[in-house]
Amino acid sequence: MTNTTHFGFKQVATEDKVKLVRGVFDSVAGQYDIMNDLMSMGIHRIWKRVAVQLSNVRKGDQVLDLAGGTGDLTTLFEKRVGKEGQIVLADINSEMLRTGRDRLIDRGLVGNIRYAQVNAECLPFEDNTFDCVCIAFGLRNVTDKDAALRSMYRVLKPGGRVIVLEFSHPVDKITETVYDFYSFKLLPKIGKIVAKDEDSYRYLAESIRMHPKQDDLKKMMENAGLERCEYFNMTQGIVAVHRGYKI
């Protein structure tokens, strides 16, 4: 019997999800930053700054930026770790990783940034390597989220932090109603016009609805071994930052 998982609202064979997600991000990589600004009216930049602030990353730290895409979080982390620290910008998608690398080089950010094409479920790093592991707007695309959280925990140093920045679930009915209308009626049309890809942005809306709710993700992080887990809602719960520690 074939194991299945969700790809948006569809059920697909588990082994096919990585390929399907790769197709989405291959398609949108070139317009990814422009779409982020349009979709969130620029607010995604505030969400990312809050996540980096909550990471408590300091000078000299080693940081893994998972699903790092076009490098927004890496750019913010680089300012904090300084030349004494290091960031690994990692993504499962080669097109996103290439776009991120090119943009960081164009910004003059070289020397303390490495690049790695990895699957979050089985990270190819030694135990106890990083002071912080951050995954922003990527966990919902992972096939086995529990395996990914365990893998993040393994590569984290004692005292280190896992930061999960992700679209989440609105905390009140009015926000939920408006958000549903925007997500399913307007967002795919914006994707069609700007990125020439309506289906990928319909998948985005569906994948957000299939992502665990705030308390459920907190429990998943605890089950992976993380302690002192907590979350911080932003924009009425449309986005949340989860934080957990390896003690």
**Any idea which residue has 């609105």 for tokens?**
170
Task: Give the tokens for residue 70.
Answer: 């076009």
Determine contact, residues 229/242, Cβ cutoff 8 Å. yes
DSSP code per residue over 196-217: S-HHHHHHHHHHHHHSPPHHHH
Half-sphere exposure of 120 (CA within 13 A, CB side): 32
Q: Is 129 annotated as a binding residue?
A: no
Which residues contact residue 187 at a Cβ distance below 8 angstroms, ignoring those fewer than 6 apart? 39, 201, 202, 204, 205
Q: Is 70 annotated as a binding residue?
A: yes
Q: Is 91 annotated as a binding residue?
A: yes
- For residue 49, the tally of other CB atoms under 10 A from its CB is 13
Which residues contact residue 235 at a Cβ distance below 8 angstroms, ignoring those fewer than 6 apart? 43, 47
Specify the pairing of strand 4-7 against strand 10-13: antiparallel
* Spatial CA neighbour of 69 closest among 19, 126, 123, 31: 31
Which residues contact residue 45 at a Cβ distance below 8 angstroms, ignoring those fewer than 6 apart? 72
Task: Give the tokens for residue 34.
Answer: 């422009």
Task: Give the tokens for residue 209.
Answer: 């609805």
Which amino acids are annotated as binding site, given as ranges?
Answer: 70, 91, 119-120
Which amino acids are annotated as binding site for S-adenosyl-L-methionine, given as ranges?
Answer: 70, 91, 119-120
